[in-house]
Amino acid sequence: MPKTSTRTPFCGALACVLLMTPLAGAQEPATPPSAPAPPTAPVSPPAPAQASVIAPPASASLPPTPVPPAANAEAPEKPSEPFAFGDFSWLNGANRQSKAILDTPAFTGSFLLDVNYTASAANPIDNTVVGSTALSRNNEVTLAFVGFGGDFHVDHARGRLMTQFGLRSTIVPRNDNSANRGQFDLSTALRYISEVNGGYHWDVLHGVNLDAGIFMSYIGLFSYDNFENWMYLPSFTSDNTPWFFNGLRLQIFTSDKLKIEPWLINGWQSYGKFNEMPGFGAQILWRPVEWFSFNSNDYVGWDTQDAPGRMRFHTDNSVEARYFRAEKPGAIFSKAAFSLTGDFGGESGDGVVPWGGTGTEYHCSTTTPCTQQFASWMAYNRFWFFGDHFAWTTGGGMMHNPGRYLVLAPTGNASPVPQPLNVAPASQPFDMSPGTQFDAFDYETGFQYMPDEHTTWDLEVNHRQASVPYFAGHGGVTSPDGYTTTTTPKGWAPDLVKGDTRIIVALLVRF
Amino acid sequence: MSLLDLITRRNTASLLAVLLALGASGCSGLLGLLPEPVHVDRIRTAAEQEYRRCDAEPIDPRVFGSGVVESVTPLYRYVQTGSNREARLHGAELRLHPLPGMTAELMMRTLSCRSARLVLGRVEGSPNEPYWLPDGWVKIDVRSDDGSFVVALEGEDLPEAKDVLARAQAFRAAQ
């Protein structure tokens, strides 16, 4: 029987979590459970099967050669695989599939397709969505993401490659200003890769992996792959926090219930580095029992252009609990679960402080710093029906971000994103200076139909509200007629509004 | 009036009504599209399997005994989830000693027949015999590996997978 790890914790800051691991093991038997009682009497047989008998092969009856005795020496028992002791297919941000179609000893393949249609109440004339990394075009069928690749695993070597085509290869890299530092066009070079990393696996504890490259971030709970999410459009806590990191990660599975994953990375969802210091962080993922998951992501970095002394810190913590599961497979009401996420962070140095700032916009200095912080939460509840083929999710959240350093920059002529010198800047950029204020909330509800392990149909309604004009209004953010080829006359301004209500329909396929 | 019109006019009551109607009609309409139950009809499947896999010749009972079991390990399948490749427990993998005259194909037929007959109650199994479950269905696959047979026993879901593994380990321990 696999053993629950009782190794001594090696890091003081993580001691409490590590110490809880053996306790967690006591709550639920580790895989496998103890041997069952002898089987009950067989069920009554039906009428005998048809008498037609297949001709026996020549060797159907064994010759009387003695069967070799079983080896007495027990082979060393391999530690159980992490998180395989339970069914975690219910989690928000996790794959519900039980096995991959293409899974060989050397390669496990993946194919992802994400197509959406969204219609906003504002119906902007430029068909552009503002303020999301999941949605990009309004009132159009949009290929948001298509990617293929997989995992390579030979002996102890491992690698992962996932390509990325579709609108997400534009809307995610555009939020990374680090690519403007220096040459070689990092955004173009890397935008068609969502994940690529390679590394080495050690058979230590329940597995230790060291990987280098671009890997997914789970700050904000939701997965970058919408197939794994309860909702298509996540709340701000997820949408405004990183989807990927570029650097090194060390995954330490101290038991089959706990992962500790330190990172050494270039920065906060950045291909390059803004300053001299790298970013540091860690994830702790703890699933002591099948119905509960705790995930904490913590980060420190220096991620502001021309402000090398400005440090960013962020903590992101989620709990998920499945509070109901029907005993009978295929029940009408089959499962219920919720997720709750809370984030807090701030920036300090070079004219800003995380709290208690006395400065005002355009007057932020080291003597009168401006407050720059991020506080948010989101909560979701999900019911599954008809043997998990249907699900209904409701949720929402809030964010408070003075300084707007995690607000997703509007696009078009409202874009505050710095442009290379040969590109004309936006005419009316959204103000993201220190000293500004931004508060927002959202709520949403949606249905998902999951006919099999590979397909999800999604229908949802979402409302977002901000304290300042931020979302695309009917006039759009591009030009008077909505086209980028039309000159914007003097005095024309992007139409930003405070509220955004929309429906979303999506088809998600994964093999 | 389109759904978009309703949203545009911010007629919340109408919008909610439409959404409820859409949800209800969608659910009822999609009910017809629900796939067949995932769990197999074990009796029917066993009868079909017995018809296809069993023949008249008696099989040396040592094939089904625990004495031929060399080792038992968990049977994992892998999926990409989040940023990791994660294992899912599907059952047990038994390594059996090579048996004279036995091929992987024949072993597959033999164990499948045995499983079907155990489910149908035509034979009595030894305690914890892992080739069947009293209230579930075990999928069997056999391959040759370095002269031994590797038997993959797969349950239909995680509880069955755990049952299969626990039975296989108890079966092996009974040697």
Same domain membership, residue B87 and residue B11: no
Mean pLDDT confidence for B5-24: 58
What is the distance in angstroms between the CA of the first residue and the CA of the last residue of chain A? 32
Strand partners, B171: none
Which residues, in sequence order, are CB contacts of B64 under 8 Å at separation 6+?
A: B111, B114, B125, B126, B129, B131
pLDDT at position A76 is 64
Torsion-angle region of residue A435: left (phi > 0), alpha (psi -120 to 50) or beta? Answer: left
Question: Where does the pLDDT of residue B20 fall: very low under 50, low under 70, confident under 90, or very high at 90 and above?
Answer: low
Residues in chain B: 175
pLDDT at position A186 is 92
Q: Which residues of A199-215 are buried (b: 16+ CB within 10 A; e: fewer)?
A: bebeeebbbbbebebbb
Torsion-angle region of residue B158: left (phi > 0), alpha (psi -120 to 50) or beta? Answer: alpha
Mean pLDDT confidence for A286-315: 96
Same domain membership, residue B78 and residue B161: yes
Which domain range does residue B40 map to? 3-53
Written as six digits, the tokens of A418 are 């710095």
Residue-wise pLDDT tens digits, A237-268: 999 999 999 999 999 999 999 999 999 999 99
Three-class SS state of A94 = coil
Written as six digits, the tokens of B65 are 């005994």
Same domain membership, residue B99 and residue B48: no
Q: What is the share, in percent, of chain A residues with pLDDT greater than 70?
A: 85
Question: Where does the pLDDT of residue B127 fall: very low under 50, low under 70, confident under 90, or very high at 90 and above?
Answer: confident
Written as six digits, the tokens of B174 are 């009974």
Query: Is the preceding peptide bond at A46 cis, omega within 30 degrees of 0?
Result: no
CA angle, A361 as apex, A359 and A362 as ends, to 5°? 100
CA dihedral A39→A45→A50→A55, nearest 10 degrees, is: 20
Same domain membership, residue B138 and residue B165: yes
Q: DSSP label at A228?
A: G
Three-class SS state of A287 = coil
Question: Where does the pLDDT of residue A32 fall: very low under 50, low under 70, confident under 90, or very high at 90 and above?
Answer: very low
Residue-wise pLDDT tens digits, A352-397: 999 999 999 999 999 999 999 999 999 999 999 998 999 999 999 9
Same domain membership, residue B123 and residue B39: no
A375 with A417: CB under 8 angstroms? no
A497 with A122: CB under 8 angstroms? yes
Same domain membership, residue B41 and residue B77: no
Interface probe for B, chosen from A31, A62, A158 (most Cβ of B below 10 Å), is: A62
- Tell me the backbone φ, ψ of residue B94, rounded to 5 degrees: -105, 135
CA distance B18 to A445: 14
CB contact under 8 A, B122 and A35: no
- β strands within B17-83, DSSP E: 69-81
What CA–CA distances, in Å, run from A27 to A4, A149, A259, A325? 11, 38, 18, 18
The distance of B59 to chain A (nearest Cα, Å) reads 5
Same domain membership, residue B44 and residue B70: no
Q: A-contacting residues of B 33-52, CB under 8 Å? A: 33-35, 37-39, 43, 47-48, 50-52
A400: amino acid identity, one letter: H
Structurally, how many domains does chain B consist of?
Answer: 2
pLDDT at position A46 is 36
A8: amino acid identity, one letter: T
CA distance B106 to A272: 59
Same domain membership, residue B118 and residue B91: yes
Same domain membership, residue B131 and residue B75: yes
A253 with A205: CB under 8 angstroms? yes
Provide the 10 A C-beta neighbour count for residue B10: 11
Provide the 10 A C-beta neighbour count for residue A6: 12
pLDDT at position A340 is 98
By CA distance, what is A461's nearest residue in B? Answer: B19
| Chain A residues within an 8 Å CB radius of B6 | none
What CA–CA distances, in Å, run from A379 to A93, A111, A319, A406, B101? 13, 30, 10, 19, 62
C-alpha A276: how far from chain center: 27
Mean pLDDT confidence for A12-35: 38
Written as six digits, the tokens of A51 are 């008498």
| Chain B residues within an 8 Å CB radius of A2 | 74
Same domain membership, residue B167 and residue B118: yes
CB contact under 8 A, B59 and A61: yes
Same domain membership, residue B104 and residue B166: yes
Mean pLDDT confidence for A431-451: 96
B72 with B169: CB under 8 angstroms? yes
pLDDT at position A14 is 37
Q: DSSP label at B50?
A: H
CB contact under 8 A, A151 and B80: yes
Mean pLDDT confidence for A114-141: 96
Q: Domain boundary at B21, B36, B53, which? A: B53
Mean pLDDT confidence for B111-122: 92
Partner A contacted by B61 (CB < 8 A): no
Mean pLDDT, all residues of chain A: 86
Residue the block writes with tokens 């949605």: A135
Q: Domain boundary at B32, B53, B74, which? A: B53
pLDDT at position A66 is 42
ipTM of the complex: 0.79
A182 with A270: CB under 8 angstroms? no
CB contact under 8 A, B166 and A119: no
Closest among A124, A357, A103, A290 to B158, alpha carbons compared:
A290
Identify the sign of the CA torsion A451, A503, A223, A198.
positive
Provide the 10 A C-beta neighbour count for residue B29: 10
CA distance A190 to A178: 13
Partner A contacted by B18 (CB < 8 A): no
Partner A contacted by B57 (CB < 8 A): yes
Residue-wise pLDDT tens digits, B41-80: 888 888 888 888 888 777 777 888 889 999 999 999 999 9
A370 with A352: CB under 8 angstroms? yes
The full DSSP string for A352-363 is EESS-----TT-
Same domain membership, residue B69 and residue B34: no
CA distance A144 to A142: 6
| Chain B residues within an 8 Å CB radius of A262 | none
Sheet order of strands, B148-154 included: B69-81, B84-96, B148-154, B139-145
Q: Domain boundary at B27, B53, B79, which? A: B53
CB contact under 8 A, B121 and A43: yes
The shortest CB-CB distance from A60 to any of B35, B43, B55 is to B55
Least confident of A12-16, A492-496, B5-9: A12-16
Mean pLDDT confidence for B155-167: 94
Question: Where does the pLDDT of residue A22 fall: very low under 50, low under 70, confident under 90, or very high at 90 and above?
Answer: very low
Q: DSSP label at A428?
A: S
Closest among A29, A501, A385, A374 to B23, alpha carbons compared:
A385
